[in-house]
Amino acid sequence: MSERVIIGRIGEIALKGLNRMSFEQKLAKNMKHAIKDCGDFKISWSQSRFFVEAKGEFDIERAAENICKVFGLVSVSIADKISSDFDEIAKCAVEQVRQKLENNPGKKLTFKAETKRGLKSFPMNSREISTEIGAVILEKFGGRLSVDVHNPDFIVYTEVREASYVYTEIKPAQCGMPVGSNGKACLLLSGGIDSPVAGYMIAKRGVSLVAVHFYSYPYTSERAKEKVLELAGIVSKYSGPIKVYVVPYTETQLAINDNCRPELSTVIMRRSMMRIAERIARSNGCSALVTGESIGQVASQTMHALYCTNAVATMPIFRPLIGMDKVEAVALARKIGTFETSILPYEDCCTVFTPKHPKTRPNIDELIEEETKYNYKELEDTAFKNCEIIHC
Ligand code: ATP
Ligand code: MG
């Protein structure tokens, strides 16, 4: 009797020493969260493998898909679990190969068998198991199959442990570290391509996310806000739940627009955003801010402008896209599934108020002097107090 189970393989966690256990527990918790809607299951782990087994009704295909997005796993397979008995293993391998052939009607295919034996009391070694499985498969399907050990069309994998596992597919997962194992950061999330990717990259290293979105209604529409929440929802499939702070930013932005020299207004606005974001970050126990900035992408991201924006923050600002070209950010956005939402044509508050000729080499003293001409603090306080909080 075989039972279908999910196998998840860990990567960097395996290199952890004494605290490996706490990383594994975090990973198990995150996997559980990712598949909570897929039915009744239990999770266990031993050595470098996590196992998800059905306890009742369980949508294993969808669960495997969701688990592929959980940081900390290198790859995922759906396997048949059987007792560690050669005849059972061979029977199971034959069934899986039969499926492969049925899915490729009329085609001649090549294969090889690969085995890992963890159960040292098993009477055959890995090489003998592979050879025997290969022989049984060839005996059954020799007309349509041949062995190619260098470049086979598929591989029949067998793992012999207390129980044994047979599978033919290994899906790559995200790698990284389990979210929650490495503190919390606050992501400045616009509706663009870059910031969701930046959030994904930081979460990948085990960091939980809180997000802040500056919203200038009615200059930016309700649809623009929905788009940002949708992006947070997509990133949360990887990062786990994200608390999104929507900051009512219209009054502050209008004040900056009305009171600053236009060529300085963008960087002054970015500094104001950092001040508010840092307050939200601090109130949520975050130890860093995260943005999607990349050197030279726009006027507010020249080295000089980044210097001036940075100078207002006391927390580190992480910019994981800093050395990336747009094409690289787009490729990642496509891979993680945010791209199609990011390119929906709803305006961002940064772009609505962009001056015609922003200064690409702003001077920090000049900026600070310009900022003192109006008391933005009160407006920023009000914006901070009136944030709308949405759980994504
Ligand atoms: P993106 O594609 O991420 O929107 P961008 O190329 O449009 O980036 P900017 O608009 O200058 O560049 O924004 C740079 C960064 O500032 C963004 O990646 C994001 O982290 C942050 N940001 C911009 N607008 C907002 C906003 N309305 N709310 C929160 N953060 C924002
Ligand atoms: Mg933007």
The two tokens of residue 50 are 């996590």
Which CATH number do you get for residue 46? 3.30.70.1510
What is the per-residue pLDDT for 114? 98
> Which atom of ligand 1 has the smallest separation from the CA of 266?
11
CA 197 to chain centre: 9
**Alpha-carbon separation of residue 28 from 31, 33, 73, 183, 354 (angstroms):** 5, 9, 11, 17, 46
- Domain assignment present for residue 211? The answer is yes
What would the DSSP string read from start to end of 146-167? Answer: EE-SSS-SEEEEEEESSEEEEE
Same domain, 326 and 302: yes
CA of 294 to the centre of ligand 2 (A): 11
- pLDDT, residue 350, reads 62
Q: Which residues contact 19 (CB under 8 A, 6 or more apart)?
A: none
**Domain limit, last residue, from 66, 84, 102:** 84
- Give the count of domains, the chain: 3
Query: Computed from CA positions of residues 219, 297, 330, 200, in that sequence, does the dihedral angle turn out positive or negative?
Result: negative
Please report the pLDDT score of residue 17 as a whole number.
87
Continuous H helices in the chain: 20-34, 60-67, 86-103, 126-141, 194-204, 222-239, 250-259, 262-283, 303-310, 326-336, 339-342, 349-352, 364-371, 376-385
Cis peptide before 218 (omega within 30 of 0): yes
In this predicted structure, what is the pLDDT of residue 129? Answer: 98
Shared domain for 245 and 358, answered yes or no, is yes
Last residue of a domain, one of 58, 84, 110: 84
Pocket test for ligand 1, best of 187, 193, 194, 271 (most atoms within 8 A of CB): 194
What are 267's two structure tokens?
Answer: 């960087």
Tell me which ligand sits closest to the C-alpha of residue 195: 1
- Residue at 204 is within a domain: yes
Same domain membership, residue 292 and residue 384: yes
For residue 379, how far is the Cα from the chain centroid? 35
Ligand 1 contact, 289 CB (< 6 A)? no
Q: What is the pLDDT of residue 354?
A: 81
- At 35, phi and psi to the nearest 5? -120, 20
- 69 CA to centre of ligand 1 in angstroms: 24
Specify the pLDDT at position 352. 67
The pLDDT, as a whole number, for residue 14 is 86
Domain of 307: which CATH number? 3.40.50.620
Q: What is the CATH number of the domain that holds 142?
A: 3.30.2300.10
Q: What is the pLDDT of residue 356?
A: 84
- Which mean pLDDT values do the consecutive 10-residue runs of the chain (392 residues) have? 93 89 96 97 95 97 98 98 97 97 95 96 97 97 95 98 97 97 97 97 98 94 95 97 97 96 95 98 98 93 96 98 97 98 81 81 94 96 98 96
At residue 381, what are phi and psi to the nearest 5 degrees? -60, -50
Do 334 and 230 share a domain, yes or no?
Answer: yes
> Does any domain span residue 177?
no
Structural domain span for residue 293: 184-391
Cβ atoms of 233 and 263 within 8 Å: the answer is no
- The reply to whether ligand 1 has any atom less than 6 angstroms from the CB of 214 is yes
Residues 97 and 76 in one domain: no
pLDDT score recorded for residue 66: 97
Contact 36, 13 (CB under 8 A): no
Q: What angle, rounded to 10 degrees, do the helices at 376-385 and 262-283 form?
A: 40
Q: What single string gives the DSSP state of each residue in 212-278?
A: EEEE-TTTS-HHHHHHHHHHHHHHHHHH---EEEEEE-HHHHHHHHHHS-HHHHHHHHHHHHHHHHH
Q: Which ligand sits nearest to residue 189's alpha carbon?
A: 1
Give a yes or no: residue 32 inside a domain. yes
Same domain as 294, residue 362: yes
Upper half-sphere CA count for residue 331 (Cβ side, 13 Å): 6
Q: For residues 253 and 83, what is the distance between their CA atoms, to the nearest angstrom?
A: 66
Q: Are residues 243 and 188 in the same domain?
A: yes
